[in-house]
Amino acid sequence: MAKKLAIRLVHSPNGRQPVQRKTAAALGFRKLYQTVVREDTPVIRGMVDRIRHLVEVTEVEE
């Protein structure tokens, strides 16, 4: 089975660079402390790496 990532937004993207705010929105975040589950792909890993200071990531097996 494919691995998934549970990504939780723990710091606000407000006041950050526009590219970081857009990356958070592209991952599906709308609210602080929201958790989204995404496939573990290089594209998603790159997006998470770009905002790594705003999120917590855990691997989930489904």
Q: Give the pLDDT score at 2.
A: 77
Distance CA 14, CA 37 (A): 22
The CATH code of the domain that includes 54 is: 3.30.1390.20
Q: Which helix (H) or strand (E) holds 46?
A: helix 42-50
Angle, helix 18-26 to helix 42-50, in steps of 10 degrees: 140
Dump strand ranges (E) for 1-62: 3-9, 35-39, 55-61
Per-residue confidence in pLDDT tens, the chain, 62 aa? 679 999 999 999 999 999 999 999 999 999 999 999 999 999 999 999 999 999 999 999 87
**What is the domain range of residue 52?**
3-61
Contact 29, 56 (CB under 8 A): no
Number of domains present in the structure of the chain: 1
Q: Give the pLDDT score at 1.
A: 65
Q: Give the pLDDT score at 61.
A: 84
The pTM of the full predicted model, rounded to 2 decimals, is: 0.92
